[in-house]
């Protein structure tokens, strides 16, 4: 087993020397650890009875671009060999489109061109010669991602839609938020589990299930994705983009592309164990002697057939929106117009634990806070929402009033001073109504007393 990620560039050349010998190439040797002029390994092959030189450049990198292929082409041309010769570039990563196009323009391997072997090719070669070449880049090379933006409205559409759900906050009034994109690796493992469990009384349990497991494939280890993310990835309408052609760096303020942490083989084995656990069940049955039994039925590894492994990057969009004194995050997994929200600060009160879309939230333009109903009031002077956190308060007619600032408070003091007594009383409507009711009752009682006196005289 060769853990290629742990090898240095020189160790990778040593490994490839052994690989080429197993493939049947002759006179395989390294050109030297320095001043190789683009020639890492030199070897020969016999074609139609005639020896031909093969000049190899080894690149233990994520990507190989056109200049590497051009350099090797020159190295092949200047290599001193009495006979036909060709080149080969071997990488643990992948080749850019310009590199492949340039290699194709040089002709086929039989015409003396440059052969390109990427990580996927190395995996297939390793299987053919009985060598396990394990490497994240070799085992899983993925150039596709789910569509990270709305197809017609761009990257800000989901955030603006969420902003529109907050009272007193207009989408047109906010500035363009900072939006970063993380391409997170996932694999969808499609498998079928079929098993039959028997005892002396016959078949007690059968199983024939097809499952599609959407699995996070990052450095935190494989784990089944949430139901929302599984629906997003598995949706037939979830369009994909080619990462080679998509200009995501121009679309987003920051871009991060994580690597697949394990090999396809490791994800396959993990999925088999996971499905065996999922389909394990305890069965109760009655034996021939009328005694009740129970048996735990766990499928064998051979009962789980992995039919396909589909890798794809899932866009995790993270937007940061500054509003006044606060900063809000809105994060979601994207698939074109569809999304699965992972964080939504716009649906949470800054003053308490209230959160979730089943409540009403109101924006306070005075400080930029978003508040639940318990922490928002009406500003007395201007009649607009103000939160309890930033409001200046004072009691008028025994009732607390809320103001944006000391200036508004002072302005209302002057206004209150000029009010008639009944107007002041109405600043505490409940108290005013209560006082009115008391006065009416007193008046009624007074009348009754008077009537009682008159009746006594008569």
394's tokens:
């004072």
pLDDT tens digits, residue range 46-76?
988 889 999 999 998 888 999 999 999 999 9
Q: List C-alpha distances in Å: 277 to 205, 214, 282, 297, 300.
A: 16, 16, 12, 10, 10
Q: What is the DSSP letter of 416?
A: H
Rg (Cα) of the chain, in Å, rounded? 37
Bridge partners (DSSP) of residue 71 are none
- pLDDT band with cut points at 50, 70 and 90 for residue 2: very low
Asked whether the predicted pLDDT for residue 309 surpasses 90, the reply is no
d(CA 316, CA 226): 14
pLDDT tens digits, residue range 4-45?
666 788 888 888 888 898 898 998 988 865 444 567 899 999
d(CA 244, CA 91): 18
Of 350, 412, 349, give the one whose Cα is nearest residue 403.
412
- Please report, for the chain, the start and end positions of each structural domain, with discontinuous segments joined by +: 9-129, 173-313, 376-427, 429-457
Q: How much of the chain exceeds pLDDT 70, in percent?
A: 89
Return all residues near 268 (Cβ < 8 A) that are at least 6 apart: 189, 306, 309
Write down the residue that tokens 């196009």 correspond to. Answer: 101
Whether the model pTM is above 0.85: no
Q: What is the DSSP letter of 111?
A: G
pLDDT tens digits, residue range 310-340?
899 999 999 999 999 999 999 999 999 999 9
H helix intervals, 188-235: 227-234
Write down the residue that tokens 């074609």 correspond to. Answer: 47
d(CA 211, CA 186): 16
Which CATH number is associated with domain 9-129? 3.40.1350.10
pLDDT tens digits, residue range 218-250?
999 999 999 999 999 998 888 999 988 888 988
Cβ neighbour number for residue 309 with a 10 Å cutoff: 20
pLDDT tens digits, residue range 339-378?
999 999 999 999 999 998 789 999 999 999 999 999 999 9
DSSP string, 343-371: EEGGGB-SSSS-BSTTS--EEETTTTEEE
d(CA 399, CA 448): 34
- pLDDT band with cut points at 50, 70 and 90 for residue 145: very high
| 414 three-state secondary structure | helix
């Amino acid at each position: 087993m060769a853990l290629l990620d742990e090898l240095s560039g020189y160790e990778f050349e040593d490994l490839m020397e052994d690989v080429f010998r197993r493939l049947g190439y002759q006179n395989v040797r390294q050109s030297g650890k320095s001043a190789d002029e683009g020639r890492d390994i030199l070897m020969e092959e016999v074609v139609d009875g005639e020896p031909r030189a093969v000049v190899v450049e080894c690149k233990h990198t994520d990507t190989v671009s056109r200049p590497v292929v051009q350099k090797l082409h020159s190295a092949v041309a200047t290599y001193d060999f009495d006979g036909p010769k060709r080149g080969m570039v071997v990488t643990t990563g992948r080749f850019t489109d310009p590199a492949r196009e340039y290699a194709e323009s040089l002709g086929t391997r039989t015409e003396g061109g440059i052969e390109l072997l990427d990580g996927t090719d190395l995996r297939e070669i390793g299987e053919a010669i009985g060598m396990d070449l394990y490497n994240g880049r070799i085992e899983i090379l993925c150039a596709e991602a789910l569509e990270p933006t709305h197809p017609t409205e761009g990257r800000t559409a989901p955030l603006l839609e969420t902003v529109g759900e907050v009272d007193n906050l207009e989408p047109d009034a906010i500035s363009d938020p900072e939006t970063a994109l993380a391409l997170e690796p996932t694999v969808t493992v499609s498998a079928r589990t079929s098993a039959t469990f028997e005892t002396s009384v016959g078949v007690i349990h059968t199983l024939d299930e097809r499952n599609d497991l959407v699995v996070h494939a990052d450095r935190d280890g494989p784990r089944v994705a949430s139901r929302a993310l599984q629906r997003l990835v598995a949706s037939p309408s979830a369009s994909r983009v080619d990462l080679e052609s998509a200009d995501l760096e121009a679309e987003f303020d920051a871009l991060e592309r994580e690597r697949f942490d394990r090999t396809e083989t490791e994800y396959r084995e993990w999925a088999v164990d996971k499905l065996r656990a999922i389909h394990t069940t305890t069965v109760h049955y009655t034996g021939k002697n009328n005694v009740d039994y129970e048996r735990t039925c766990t499928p064998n590894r051979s009962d789980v057939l992995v039919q396909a492994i589909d890798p794809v990057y899932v866009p995790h969009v993270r937007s940061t929106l500054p509003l006044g004194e606060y900063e809000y995050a809105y994060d979601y997994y994207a698939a074109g117009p569809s999304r699965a929200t992972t964080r939504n600060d716009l649906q949470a009160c800054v003053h308490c634990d209230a959160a979730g879309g089943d409540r009403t939230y109101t924006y306070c333009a005075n400080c930029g806070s978003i508040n639940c109903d318990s922490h928002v009031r009406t500003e007395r002077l201007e009649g607009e929402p103000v939160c309890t956190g930033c409001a200046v308060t004072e009691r008028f007619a025994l009732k607390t009033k809320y103001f944006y600032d000391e200036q508004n408070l002072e302005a209302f003091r002057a206004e209150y001073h000029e009010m008639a007594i009944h107007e002041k009383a109405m600043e505490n409507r409940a108290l005013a109504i209560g006082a009115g009711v008391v006065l009416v009752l007193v008046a009624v009682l007074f009348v009754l007393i008077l009537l009682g006196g008159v009746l006594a005289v008569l």
